[in-house]
Structure 1
Amino acid sequence: MTAARGYLRYTAGKLGGAAVSLLAVLVTSFFLFRIIPGDPVKALTHGTPTTAGQLASLRRQFGLDEPLWRQFTEYCAKALTGDLGISYQFRAPVGELIAEKAPATLLLTGVAVLVYSAVGLWLGARSAWRHGGLGDRINTGVALTLWSVPSFWLGLLLIITFSVGIGPVPGLFPTGGMESGDATGLGYAIDVAHHMVLPVLTLVAVGYAQTLLVMRSSLLDEMGGDYLTTARAKGLRDAVVRRRHAVPNALLPTVTMIFINLGHVAAGSILVETVFSWPGVGGLFYQALSVPDLPLVQGLFMVFAGAMILMNLLADLVYPLLDPRVRR
């Protein structure tokens, strides 16, 4: 009963912190994008002859003629009820636009997160267990290199090499998009998978490196523990000691990494989606930011930040289950 009460108290504190974070995001999402240079109305009417009266009418229609404090209170009142407003450029509810683009992003980044989390955990554990060896040096060197590479730059290199073709390497994959538009059924699934190869590879190459390095560092910290010596003294095989004793105790920092990566699933990768013309929320955010389309930018920022806060909250709630000392 005492343990359950302690966990409930711990959970209540984390929920309160998440609520405060969401309120901070609500305020930040409004004021942050108000300092972006540019006039949304002029950007939307660029290249179209427009009178001063028409510009004033559009500002009134978008509510931009209201005092800033009134815009803020109206924005907060709507956001707290789930109304993210109407996009300036698409003239559609922001929530519907995000819901329309979300499946493509969830597919792309979801697959990438699953792959690079599994690969990073496995290689990180093996590198730490055999630290100092040739395999560890190669894995660590490759991981550090890929972690330092900007994702958009790596994506462009992959497009040049495997889409356009270079030297003896022919163009094997599409340069962008999610589908060719002329397939159905199983053919459609294969077509989408074909388009996913390069953007997923880009995300995996950068993401697995970070997971590997965090897992390696965490496991190295555990390898001097007395409990591992005791496990070996009992006659357990080295692989069993690593899998059942060392790795579970090294997972706390990596759990945070995995949950943060899951939070990124909602946001996608803005640069990677833009480079590969992937029709997800990352590309939508780039379009919105270029105007700037304030309701759409604010709505996407709320979704991105909300997903990260939720995943951090879940990580905090899982910690005590992995290590009861955390709730103390």
Structure 2
Amino acid sequence: MSSVQKAVAPIFDEPAARNTSGSAYLRYGAGKVGGAAVSLLAVLVTGFFLFRLIPGDPVKTMTGGRPVSTEQLASYRREFGLDLPVWQQFTDYCGKALTGDLGTSYQFRAPVLDKITEALPNTLLLTGTAFVLYTVLGIFLGTRAAWRHGGLGDKLNTGLALALYSVPSFWLGLLLIIVFSVGIGPIPGLFPTGGMESGGEEGLAYLLDVAHHLILPVITLVAVEYGQTLLVTRSALLDEMGGDYLTTARAKGLRDDLVRRRHAVPNALLPTVTLVFVNLGRTVAGVILVETVFSWPGLGGLFYQALSVPDLPLVQGLFFFFAAAVIVMNTVADLVYPLLDPRVGR
């Protein structure tokens, strides 16, 4: 390979990746997976004790205020194991959780895992759509802002990204409902105020109805989340722009656009790849407020409903699921990064 080719080659080319020590990577991966397992165990323990600090009696809440005898209340407590000492409830909970049994919901009288599985597709539809859109938008605008840093477009992009990133998602969602669902002034109500479907639709009409309900919550998530991807991409690309390999590429006569797309952006995307995995887990866990505001029938709405009882097994199960999503995606990011940049994990 000539000196010019060496200067222009990305840091994660195949020969370099193949030279990464397999044993070193295995040790690195084992450490990350072990740390994730300890974190999951800590979440399991924390969730059990944390939600028992919530005031209120779940059994009395489930009766809906109806007059219930002391014997009936005692029967309910025996049914759900609430008459046992806390330490015994804890050991029973941990033992079942390790086998995949997260308990039985108080209010739905159904396994917690079944309720999570039932609501998960709706959450994935919302968060998956938003995730793809804000990732693509953040990377595109971040590269544009960095390549023309200091210009008007850069200042507008970064300023808007910072402003929206600091806005609470529930506040922005309520604002969008007031303006575009209820209508204000000359702006008519164009979108539903909440829910996932209007009901009574089938086939293509049903898909269009769901898409219509999806627009405002997706806009809310994209507006709040794209700024972080933009800022990280912009910062990483600015660090790469002074590299010698870019100067060499320009000296070869490559157009500025090709230099950016073929050489600068691929290397600058390494930190963004990590952020993408982290955001994927964080978006699933952070959708609670958006789903609650828009009455979206997903995991976030289910968590709010369970918390209001409180339905302890369901709250604990959802808390564990949300935390596990973040921990697992962080671990995947840690495992993927050394494959892209062999300097990591050695």
Residue equivalent to 1:112: 130
AA aligned opposite 1:90: F
Moved more, 256-265 or 317-326: 256-265
- Does the CA contact (< 8 Å) of 2:20 and 2:342 recur in 1? no
- Does the CA contact (< 8 Å) of 1:266 and 1:304 recur in 2? yes
- Does the CA contact (< 8 Å) of 1:223 and 1:246 recur in 2? yes
For residue 238 of structure 2, give the secondary structure of its aligned residue in structure 1. Answer: helix
Task: Say whether residues 1:92 and 2:110 are aligned partners.
Answer: yes
**1:6-21 alignment to 2 at 5 Å?**
6-21=24-39
Task: Say whether residues 1:212 and 2:230 are aligned partners.
Answer: yes
1:124-168 per-position Cα deviation (integer Å, ceiling 9, x unaligned): 111011111010011111111111111111111111111111111
Residue equivalent to 1:260: 278
Task: Say whether residues 1:146 and 2:164 are aligned partners.
Answer: yes
Q: Which runs of 5+ in 2 are unaligned?
A: 1-18
CA distance in 1, matches of 2:168, 2:283: 18
Task: Say whether residues 1:221 and 2:276 are aligned partners.
Answer: no
AA aligned opposite 1:324: P
Task: Say whether residues 1:316 and 2:334 are aligned partners.
Answer: yes
**Moved runs in structure 1, 4+ residues, more than 6 A?**
none
Which residue of 316, 326, 344 maps to 1:298?
A: 316
Which residue of 196, 206, 213 maps to 1:178?
A: 196
**1:19-34 alignment to 2 at 5 Å?**
19-34=37-52
Quote the offset at 1:9 in angstroms.
Answer: 1.9
AA aligned opposite 2:240: E
**1:255-294 alignment to 2 at 5 Å?**
255-267=273-285, 269-294=287-312
AA aligned opposite 2:52: R
Which residue of 149, 153, 158 maps to 1:131?
A: 149
CA distance in 2, matches of 1:82, 1:48: 34
Quote the offset at 1:286 in angstroms.
Answer: 0.4
CA distance in 2, matches of 1:235, 1:57: 82
Residue equivalent to 1:156: 174
For residue 327 of structure 1, give the secondary structure of its aligned residue in structure 2. Answer: coil
AA aligned opposite 1:264: R
Quote the offset at 1:316 in angstroms.
Answer: 0.8
Give the TM-score normalised by structure 2.
Answer: 0.91
Quote the offset at 1:305 in angstroms.
Answer: 1.2
Task: Say whether residues 1:121 and 2:121 are aligned partners.
Answer: no
Residue equivalent to 2:252: 234
Task: Say whether residues 1:83 and 2:104 are aligned partners.
Answer: no
CA distance in 1, matches of 2:145, 2:33: 37
Which residue of 48, 60, 66 maps to 2:78?
A: 60
Residue equivalent to 1:203: 221
1:255-296 per-position Cα deviation (integer Å, ceiling 9, x unaligned): 222112211354361111011110001000001111111100
Which residue of 42, 55, 65 maps to 1:47?
A: 65
Q: Which runs of 5+ in 1 are unaligned?
A: none
Give the TM-score normalised by structure 1.
Answer: 0.96
CA distance in 2, matches of 1:46, 1:239: 65
Moved more, 177-186 or 42-51: 42-51
1:201-221 per-position Cα deviation (integer Å, ceiling 9, x unaligned): 111111111211121122222
CA distance in 1, matches of 2:339, 2:216: 37
1:167-197 per-position Cα deviation (integer Å, ceiling 9, x unaligned): 1111111111101111100111001001101
